[in-house]
Amino acid sequence: MTQYNDTQHLTSNEQISRVTVNNAPDDNPATLWLIDDDVALRLVLADTFEDAGLNVISFTQAQAAWTRLNDVLQQHEVADQLPDVILTDIRMPMMDGLSFSDWVHQHFPKLPIVIMTAHSDLTSAINSYQTGAFEYLPKPFDLDDAVATIYKAINYQPNQELVTQPTVATDITIDTPSEADSKLNIHSKVINKTKPTIQTASKVNATSKPNKTTKNKAELKTNTNANNNPSGIIGQSQAMQTVFRAIGRLAHSPITVLITGESGTGKELVAGALHEHSPRAQQPFIALNMAAIPHDLIESELFGHEKGAFTGATTTRQGRFEQADGGTLFLDEIGDMPYSTQTRLLRVLANGEFFRVGGQQPVKVDVRIIAATHQNLEELVKQGKFREDLFYRLNVIRLPLPPLRTRPEDIPALASYFMLRAAEQINSAEKKLHPTALQVMQSFEWRGNVRQLENVCLWLTVMATGETVMVEDLPPELLKNTLSLQEPRPQQNLSVIETTQNQQHNDGVYSLNQNKQNVQNNPVSQTNENQSWQQALAIWAEQSLQTGEIDILQTATPEFERVLLKAALNHSSGKKIVAANLLGWGRNTLTRKLQQLDISSSAMQNNLD
């Protein structure tokens, strides 16, 4: 495919600097392989990375990139053809990005891969890191952040090593690449159409060595979504994406983790996910809440006791540490652990040994410790209630969990998940939330966080009548939020645009196209001299959010660009270069936008250059 860039309109003083590996000469820029079957996104990313000084080679499918790499592996091409970094999507036809990443990591272990996906759930994040990915980018991501990530990856491990296996292609079903794949890059060799390519994602894994500590890569769950998360951790917000990345990076490490967050934010779920995706997954996961055990029984609960150690100790009993040997011990509410017990825990963390209560022989265990608390341990240390040395032992990696009120965009998916679970629990039909009821739930503070939301969903499933949960069906603590939401705004703040929409859409559903048509039919200057286009846009955004719409930026941006593009073309009498300068774009960017927005050039002017 043709590579688009905007350097054509730059002067000699504006030429972009090229990004190189280890400050190599500027005439040898670093190479990025970009793999995505989404044409529009691929073009945008290619432009971005080329403007950032990279040599970009684009592929529509992972199998075409695999063919190129396999040619190097089979020594049909020189190693100079290898890229410096690969950026790939997950969901693609023929061969998915996770299988491709797993194969590359096995045969080119020092070639960094960055994985991007629109299905940004916990499973995708963990699977990405399990395949050896350098980084995981959930869509939508900031382009500047993506460029920064690629820069880091380029100089991560620049010296490539090949793990040659001459028989690698013999067990793989072959197919002839499509014509589109054979034209992927005008800067490189023409791909030999007789070379084998991957037919299915599972075939490539047939050559991989078995790894007992990871799932079969042929069965990686690439089709999970927010409502089908086996770990029960749901979220599309940026805060949760940070948590997903942390879990993905920490899962395979034996390092101690301290999870912090308010009650009900899901600390035990995160601890369970860290264990479930770790090499210890087949061993026990023992959870113990320090606040739920009487202080005089905590030592026996943790370390066990010998027969006769105290009154009532009629038999020898294993403690939680012994039960979790080889696995993971989750110590919830660690801030409530008695000071005396903290000393014994410190010894276990230091050398893996402890004595049962009343015991004379040390017991050695191999246990990963994951601790959690809703308290401020630093403050407890200052107050002398928590050992400072134990705090630093536990605080190796801290993983803070966001409260639910800071991520209202996750509430629809969470509520849907809990409503389905509640229906299964009581063996009834699943109930749906009316958009207005969902809006009330999104505006609620949720001091009990996700646990409180789960309880509300169960309450609604039992108590609400009808298949659709209306505002009046919500529990009393949520209904107090409806008054402020339902109070009408002063009449003088209502524009003709809003009034017209209210008349045309009594069901409260609005669309950007209809808003745009209303604006065109009712110019601001004729309806309200004091109202700007920003105010009209703000009204539309507020109405869309109130009706439960999401991704409103994705809806608004193309329409915003379409209006400006048409205005610039009309003002320039259809001259693309002039219009591009008016918009601050390059000519190729303008051409691409015309295609993406499906704007006919002939419809603008007959004399387009």
Q: What pLDDT digit, counting tens, does each position of 71-127 carry?
A: 888 876 666 778 999 999 988 888 888 889 999 989 888 899 999 987 777 888 888
Per DSSP, the three-state class of 158 is coil
Task: Compute and round to an integer the Cα radius of gyration of the chain.
Answer: 29
Confidence of residue 160 (pLDDT cuts 50, 70, 90): very low
The H or E element that residue 574 is part of is none
The pLDDT tens digits for 11-25 are 333 444 455 554 444
The pLDDT tens digits for 181-227 are 333 332 333 223 233 333 333 333 333 333 333 333 333 333 333 33
Cβ atoms 354, 313 nearer than 8 A: no
**Which CATH code for domain 405-482?**
1.10.8.60
- Confidence (pLDDT) at 415: 94
- Locate CATH 1.10.10.60 in the chain: 551-608
What topology is assigned to 21-155 in CATH?
Rossmann fold (3.40.50)
Is domain 253-402 classified as CATH 3.40.50.300?
yes
3-state SS record for 438-461: HHHHHHCCCCCHHHHHHHHHHHHH
What topology is assigned to 551-608 in CATH?
Arc Repressor Mutant, subunit A (1.10.10)
Min mean pLDDT across 8-22, 40-54, 159-173, 275-289 is at: 159-173
Q: Which two tokens stand for residue 107?
A: 């045969």
Count how many Cα atoms sit within 13 Å of the Cα of residue 167 in the half-sphere of its side chain: 4
- Which residues, listed in sequence order, are joined to residue 168 by a DSSP beta bridge? none
Cβ atoms 465, 473 nearer than 8 A: yes
- Confidence (pLDDT) at 114: 93
- Alpha carbon separation from 381 to 281, 349, 389, 520, 575 (Å, rounded): 33, 18, 9, 64, 69
**What contacts 432, CB < 8 A, 6 or more positions away?**
419, 467, 468, 469
Per DSSP, the three-state class of 400 is strand
**What contacts 479, CB < 8 A, 6 or more positions away?**
440, 471, 472
Cβ atoms 217, 112 nearer than 8 A: no
**Of 74, 42, 81, nearest to 61 (Cα)?**
42
The pLDDT tens digits for 326-375 are 999 999 999 999 988 898 888 888 888 888 888 888 889 999 999 999 99
Count how many Cα atoms sit within 13 Å of the Cα of residue 438 in the half-sphere of its side chain: 22
- Locate CATH 3.40.50.2300 in the chain: 21-155
CA angle 481, 485, 488 (to 5 degrees): 145
d(CA 590, CA 609): 13
- Confidence (pLDDT) at 78: 67
- Locate CATH 1.10.8.60 in the chain: 405-482
